[in-house]
Every structure is written in structure tokens, then in C-alpha cells.
Amino acid sequence: MQQIEEQQQQQGQDQDDDLMIPLNVQARLGEFTDRYFVKSYSEHQYVFQHSNRLYLCGLNKNHPIVKSDSDIKEIEFTQKEQLVKGKKKKGGLKVKSNTVMLKVHLENGEVYEVLAGQDGYIIEMNENLQKNKQYLKQYPETKGFVCIIQGCRK
Amino acid sequence: MQLNEPKAILFNKLYEKDVCIRCILRLFKITENNLYRETQGFIQLLVDIGKLIGNENKLVEEYDFLYYKRKSEIIDYDILPQTCHSTLKDQFIKNPFHTFDKINKCLICHGILQCLDDQKFLAILVNEIYQRQYQYEAFKFQVKTPIGCQIRQIMILNQCITEIGLNDPFYEQIITPNFAIDIKNCVKWIMCSLLSEQLKVPCDINDDRFQICLNFENIGDDVKQFEQFKQIIQDIDDKMWEEKIAKKLKMNDPQLKEEINNKLLQKKNLQSQPFLPTQNNLEKISKLNQTQLSQFKIINVNYPVKLEVTTSYQNIFIKGNYIKLGRYISQTPWFINGNRIYADSIEDLVSAEACKIFKPSSLKFHSGGREDIDVRMLGNGRPFAIELVDPHCGLQIQTQEILNQIESNINSQKVVKVTPLQYTDTNIFEELKNSEINKVKAYCCIVECKNIVNGDLIQQANQIKDLIIKQKTPIRVLHRRTQMVRDKIIHSLLIKQINEKWLLVYVLSSAGTYIKEFIHSDLDRTVPNLCTLLQNECDIYQLDVMKLYEKIDEDVIINFKNLDTEYGSKI
């Protein structure tokens, strides 16, 4: 086994050459969402499509909630929660891209409606928004996503 | 068998109804094998019967005439595979081998027992087996016969006995179900020694390795024979159910009304369904009494009997551990829409040599879990087993030398290696499943952080023991896995700093943990994660599986903490 380990070491390093890690670069190489996702933006929201054809939806940087100085006071989930079962994700709520998923109340009294952004079935609403409301504002394109949608079968 | 007049009368009657001699012998439960194979034996029997029914030689003359007539027909016709009757074509996927419709068919066995010792038939059968090129030193013989033959048997017996009109204890005995010898046993008595002579190996029922199966089928006929019984069996079933219910009705149960309604609905549905030829239905029919049976008659159909010959050799199992030194190699061949995605797979690389030596019909690859395609598998390797299905050259003595040859062939490649291989059997499945569920695994990965890392937090993280994390199904597999939360345990961490923002992270975790998601948090769907532990934003660049451990204990943790010296630094 000793010999095999040494061989592994050498071969490991040979293989690493194609995945060269630039050790001196200061700038960030990329976000998690840059891998595998195809990004598309509308005026205030985004839809990121994963290579496995699931959609990640949420607010983009230009949304007034994100731009506003005021913090988020309350997030109201306007749709009833429906549990999804099994590998085929049966039982998900069917939505259209303009279905209202959230009503967001800011400290300064403004209220905004957040749309689903994509036709299909809701697989998951972001539960972290219930405890960490500010994610929606601080990390709208990563941790503060709104929902994950499975497209309709054609 | 002791001959007497009632038996002789029945024998004669059956013979006149066009039942072959061998079928009559087995109906009478005659067990002397030679009577089934040599004409001398039963010519004498026919003489004896002739004496009893007052017509000494007539039976023998008739038999001789028919026997020679049939024999000449067999020789004259060229017995080649015939095309199927059009409605049966879809029912046969494998090679239809031989049809018997050119020969006078016995009413019960359809000619199956009549043509077995024919030289031409035997030659074709033996040729078929030779062509498949197996190595064997003995064979086990199996037979399957059409279930419709049993119905014909019941009906013809019933008809004959009714026509004779005598009451004899033997007649009552002969119509009990399972009295007669099965067609399968007769085929075996006749064929085993014939085949054994031709193939030059003995027929051994205890030797499971090489099996030859003759599958006689006649589905069209089976369906026709069973169809006519549908109504009467349904009526009997309904009656039985009504009797059961009648008792309960006296108790005035409200649930019962619902049950009755359901049953009536079921009945309506059943009426449109066909009465299928199954063992269950056969048993119900055999319980019918004489008067009930007499209203039915044998339906004559001309569907030919098909014969399918299947041969198989016992599977060979080889187990070991594999090590994957490269990336972008899938575990098993990966196709999307018929296109091969990655050229190599571990299954191919590991089993190529074994397949050349043993020549199996097909191959199955089993492993104790799997890793992502871009992840290497190092250390002591992952347990796997290959199952060589139906190996044509399985007879060669399964020695260590062959295994060594296979092993050195695999290890001469760069990308995949194996540990010393062993032969095994079906017990390996339990071991592999166990490995997938219970083994604790050590991983090593390269992690980049967004902000400069905090040394104190790294110290803290290195002290963690048995941290429970909750992982929602990662987005990258959410399309084919159930949406749920999985509890996993991070037993230990070893974080080494490469520079201000880059880390080398060793993780020791329970089986089934999604490591990539633990590192980058999968949009906070895995908590707690490395980002929360280091209060930083982390992303993973490379992952290797370093080692598999049987279970978690103190020694394992100590071994884990020293992994970086065991393997040396990667940089």
C-alpha cells in the first residue's frame, strides 16, 4: 500500500495541473451561483435556471426593497404551504410567473409584493426568511432567495 | 400396475379418443421408466389389455399402424423453425425453436411426449446447445409445460368415465387432482439420458452450475381452455362469499353494508376481465365435480406448441476495493438520449479482463456507495463487487492465479486501481449495503474564503466533536431526490491554512453527508456549515475521499487527525 500511496501523491499533483489554483489572486473566483446556473434578470427580480432544470427565483439588486435604506419589518407568505412528497415532487403548489408569493412590509411603512417569477410548481419556499428577514435585503441573489420552482412538464 | 377389466376398458377408451400412449401411462401412474422409452415393454402391455377387453391383437395392430405412420411423417417432413401464428408473434421474444404441428397431436400433451426421442429433433436441440459454447461438466435439466394441458386432462378423463358409465374405485382415484404423473417428469425420464449421451456429460440434479431449460409454451391454447370456465367459477366464488356474509348480517353491522357495496362494484369490474390461465384458477377448476364438468367440452385449437431452449451458468462474484485516481470518470457507463457522456467508467475498467477470461453474457456492478464524478477516491478504496452473469467459461477452476492476473491487469492502468481481489457469493450485497449506510468517511478539500480568515475561529473549528448538521436535499440533486431534511454528523475537522484566504479542510463525517454543501452552505439550506463556523463565505474547489472507516471511535479520530502527515501536503 505504501507504494500505491506515493504513486497517488505524484499522480495527484499531475492531475491538479488542470485545476490550477491561483494562490496569489486576491479577487474572488466566483460565487456558488455562478456554477451550474444560467442567470436571467427582469426589472426587479431574477430567475436562475440550474443545469438540472430547476429554477431559483428571487429579488435582484435593483429591487426597491434592496435599494431602500429602511429595514424589513415583516414578511408575509401569501400562499398556503403545500408539502411536496416523493422523488417526483407531487403535491406542489402550481403558480404562474405573476402569482404573488410574498408581501414584504418595510419599517418605513412601504409594502411590496414579490412575484413567483416562473410558471411551474413550488418545490420549496425559503424558510430562512422567516427567522432572518434581512437576508432578502442583504443577500437577495444567494441566501435570500424566495423560492425553488419545478417547471411544468410539456 | 395390476391390470383388471375396468382399467383395460378405460385404457382402450382413452386410446380411441386420440390420447398418446405415454400420456395414458402417466394418467395411470405407471412408474416403470422403461415403459416410456422402449416399444417392447408396452407392446406386451397392449397385448395384455387386448386380452381383457376381448380383442387380443387389435390394440397392438392399431398402435403399430399409427406408430409407423407417425414415424414416416416425422422423417418425411423437414423440421425447421416455423413462423408463429400471427396473433402469437408478439408473445415470443426469444428464438422460437420448433413447432410440432405437422404430427398427429395427442389430445392432452399436444405432441410434446410424442416426439422427444426423434433423432432429428435431438440433433437440432444438441446443436443449439453446442452453438452457445459453454464449458460444463454436468447439467441440470428443467422443463416447463403449458398449463392448458391440465385442463384437457381433466376434461378427457371426465368424458371417458361418463361414457363408460361404470362405478369403480379406480375411476374415482384417477380423477383426483395430482394423481397422474406430470408431463414434466415424463420429459425428464426420456430426455435426461438421451441428452447425456449426446452431450457426453452426466445429468445431475444436485449440480446447480449449468442448467438447461426446455420451455414448452402454448399461450393461445391455454387462454381458450380456461375461458369457458369463467362464469361457473365466478358463481361458485360469489356463493361462498354470500354464505360468509349471511352469518355476519345477523349481527347488523353497519360497516358490512359498505363491504357489500364494494364487493358488488368489484363484481361488475370482474365481468369485463378475462379468466386467465394461472395456477390459482387451475386449482379452482380441479375442485369441480363430475356433473359440473360434464357441461364443458375440450376446445380443439390449432395453435402450435413452441419450444424455447434456455441455458445458463451459475454467476461468479468477485469483490475488492477500488481506488479512483482521476476525475471525470463515472462509476457506471453514463448515457443521455443514447449518447455516451464520459468515455471511461470504473465498471468498464475494472471488469474488462474478467470478462475476457470468463465470457459472461452480461455484467452487473455493485458498490458500497458512490462518489461524484469530479471527486477522487483514495486511501483504502471503496468496496465493490462485479457479478459475471451466465459466464460461458465458468468451469475453469476459480483459482487465485486468475484473480492475480485480473488484478495486475487492472493495476497496470493509471486511473483505477484495486486491492487484492477475492471470490465471493450473494452475501456480498449485505456487506455493501452496510458499508454504504454505516461507514464513516474522511474527506479532504480545498476551500476559498471571501474574507481573510480568522485564526481563532479555525482553532475552535478544529476542536469540534460530533457536530450534528441538518441538510436539506441539495439543489443539484433536488430534481431526482426526495425533498427532505437529513441529519448528519461531522465527527471531526482538521483545517490547515494555505494562505490568508485559502484553506485545506479535512472532514470526518457519517455516511451519506453532502460535503460540498457543508462547505458552501447551499444557500443556507445546510446548517450549521463551514461558513457559519468560520463566519466567512466559503466555496469548495476540489474534493477527494481520503479513507473509509468501519465505525467511529477514538482511534479513528486520532488516525484522522494525522491524515495530513500520512499523505503529505498537497501543495
pLDDT of A141-151, one tens digit each?
A: 888 899 999 88
Q: What is the pLDDT of residue B489?
A: 93
Summarize the confidence of residues B294-308 as an average pLDDT.
78
Report the run of H or E that residue A26 belongs to, with start and end.
none
Cell numbers 442448467 correspond to what residue? B211
Summarize the confidence of residues B561-571 as an average pLDDT.
65
CB pairs under 8 A between A and B: 84
pLDDT, tens digit (0-9, with 9 covering 90-100), for B108-127: 887 788 777 667 778 888 88
Q: What is the pLDDT of residue B280?
A: 86
Q: Do A11 and B450 touch (CB under 8 A)?
A: no
- Cα–Cα distance measured from residue B63 to residue B195, given in angstroms and rounded to the nearest whole number: 27
To the nearest whole Å, the CA of B550 is away from the closest chain A CA by 19
Name the β-bridge partners of B365: B386
- Cα–Cα distance measured from residue B175 to residue B157, given in angstroms and rounded to the nearest whole number: 7
pLDDT over threshold 60, residue B258: yes
- Cα–Cα distance measured from residue B306 to residue B175, given in angstroms and rounded to the nearest whole number: 28
Grid cell digits, residue B234: 365466478
Higher pLDDT, residue B274 or B186: B186
Q: What is the pLDDT of residue B485?
A: 92
pLDDT over threshold 70, residue B75: no
Q: What is the pLDDT of residue B56?
A: 64
pLDDT over threshold 90, residue B320: yes
Q: Do B478 and A52 touch (CB under 8 A)?
A: yes
pLDDT over threshold 90, residue B226: no
Residues 6+ apart with CB under 8 A from B137: B201, B395
To the nearest whole Å, the CA of A17 is away from the closest chain B CA by 11
CB B322 within 8 A of CB B350: yes
Q: What is the pLDDT of residue A4?
A: 45
pLDDT, tens digit (0-9, with 9 covering 90-100), for A73-115: 888 888 877 778 877 777 788 888 888 888 888 888 888 889 8
Q: What is the pLDDT of residue B418?
A: 92
Scanning every residue of chain B, which has its alpha carbon at the shortest distance from the alpha carbon of A123?
A: B483
Residues of A near B (Cβ–Cβ under 8 Å) read 1, 4-5, 8-9, 11-13, 15-16, 19, 21, 23, 26, 28-33, 36, 50, 52-54, 56, 84-87, 89, 123-124, 126, 128, 135, 142-143, 145, 148, 150
What mean pLDDT value characterizes chain B?
A: 82
CB B471 within 8 A of CB B518: yes
Q: Which of A9, A36, A87 sits opposite B482 (nearest CB)?
A: A87
Biggest CA pair distance of chain A: 70
To the nearest whole Å, the CA of A86 is away from the closest chain B CA by 5
Q: Do A52 and B542 touch (CB under 8 A)?
A: no
Q: What is the pLDDT of residue A90?
A: 78
- Cα–Cα distance measured from residue A92 to residue A74, given in angstroms and rounded to the nearest whole number: 25
Q: Which residue type occupies B446?
A: I
To the nearest whole Å, the CA of A122 is away from the closest chain B CA by 12
- Cα–Cα distance measured from residue B125 to residue A91, given in angstroms and rounded to the nearest whole number: 56
Class of residue B196 by CB neighbours under 10 A (exposed 0-12, middle 13-18, buried 19+): middle
Grid cell digits, residue B538: 466559503
Torsion region of B452: left, alpha or beta (phi above 0 gives left; psi -120 to 50 gives alpha): beta
Q: What is the pLDDT of residue B1?
A: 66
Q: Which of A11, A33, A86 sits opposite B414 (nearest CB)?
A: A11
CB B367 within 8 A of CB B386: no
In chain B, what residues touch A145 (CB-CB under 8 Å)? 523
Residues 6+ apart with CB under 8 A from B412: none
B210-217, strands of its sheet edge to edge: B140-144, B210-217, B306-313
Higher pLDDT, residue B565 or B526: B526
Higher pLDDT, residue A3 or B198: B198
CB B352 within 8 A of CB B385: no
Higher pLDDT, residue B99 or B238: B238
Grid cell digits, residue A116: 413567483
Q: Which of A1, A31, A123 sits opposite B478 (nearest CB)?
A: A123
- Cα–Cα distance measured from residue B455 to residue B457, given in angstroms and rounded to the nearest whole number: 5
Phi, psi dihedrals of residue B73, rounded to the nearest 5°: -65, -40
Degrees (nearest 5) of the Cα angle B36, B39, B41?
75
Instruction: Establish whether the linkage from the previous residue to B528 is cis, with ω within 30° of 0.
Output: yes
CB atoms within 10 A of CB B223: 16
C-alpha closest to that of B423 among B315, B271, B521, B561: B315
Q: What is the pLDDT of residue B101?
A: 40
Q: What share of chain A is helix, strand, coil (3-state, %, to 5)?
A: 20, 30, 45
User: B269-296: b or e for each residue (b if 16 or more CB lie within 10 Å)?
Assistant: eeeeeebebeeebbebbbebeeeebeeb
Q: Go through chain B and tell me how many residues it has.
A: 571
Q: Do B541 and A31 touch (CB under 8 A)?
A: no
CA pseudo-torsion sign A128, A130, A134, A140: positive
3-state secondary structure of B30: coil
Higher pLDDT, residue B76 or B179: B179
Q: What whole-number percentage of chain B has pLDDT above 70? A: 87
Q: Lowest mean pLDDT: which of B396-405, B409-418, B523-532?
A: B396-405
pLDDT over threshold 60, residue B81: no
Q: Go through chain A and tell me how many residues it has.
A: 154
Higher pLDDT, residue B49 or B452: B452
Residues 6+ apart with CB under 8 A from A62: A43, A44
| B5 — pLDDT class (breaks 50, 70, 90) | confident
C-alpha closest to that of B100 among B117, B86, B119, B80: B80
Q: Do B475 and A54 touch (CB under 8 A)?
A: yes
Active site residues of B: 372
Scanning every residue of chain B, which has its alpha carbon at the shortest distance from the alpha carbon of A26?
A: B501
In chain B, what residues touch A148 (CB-CB under 8 Å)? 475, 478
Q: Lowest mean pLDDT: which of B13-17, B280-284, B360-364?
A: B13-17
Residues 6+ apart with CB under 8 A from A50: A36, A37, A56, B475, B476
- Cα–Cα distance measured from residue B341 to residue B330, given in angstroms and rounded to the nearest whole number: 9
DSSP state of B295: T
Q: What is the pLDDT of residue B315?
A: 92
pLDDT over threshold 70, residue B360: yes
pLDDT, tens digit (0-9, with 9 covering 90-100), for B445-497: 999 888 899 899 999 999 998 999 999 999 888 888 888 899 999 999 999 99
pLDDT, tens digit (0-9, with 9 covering 90-100), for A6-36: 444 444 343 343 344 444 444 455 667 777 7
Q: Lowest mean pLDDT: which of A52-56, B260-264, B277-281, B309-313?
A: B260-264
Scanning every residue of chain A, which has its alpha carbon at the shortest distance from the alpha carbon of B477?
A: A52
To the nearest whole Å, the CA of A68 is away from the closest chain B CA by 23
Cell numbers 398418446 correspond to what residue? B20
- Cα–Cα distance measured from residue B565 to residue B571, given in angstroms and rounded to the nearest whole number: 13
Summarize the confidence of residues B345-352 as an average pLDDT.
91
In chain A, what residues touch B521 (CB-CB under 8 Å)? 143
CB atoms within 10 A of CB B41: 14
pLDDT over threshold 90, residue B347: yes
Q: What is the pLDDT of residue B100?
A: 44
pLDDT over threshold 70, residue A51: yes
**Strand A147-150 vs strand A37-41: parallel, antiparallel, or unpaired?**
unpaired
CB B370 within 8 A of CB B358: no
Scanning every residue of chain A, which has its alpha carbon at the shortest distance from the alpha carbon of B527?
A: A128
- Cα–Cα distance measured from residue B307 to residue B302, given in angstroms and rounded to the nearest whole number: 16
CB B371 within 8 A of CB B545: yes
Higher pLDDT, residue B437 or B105: B437
Q: What is the pLDDT of residue B467?
A: 92
3-state secondary structure of B62: helix
CB B562 within 8 A of CB B442: no
In chain B, what residues touch A21 (CB-CB under 8 Å)? 446, 502, 541-542
Phi, psi dihedrals of residue A59, rounded to the nearest 5°: -90, 145
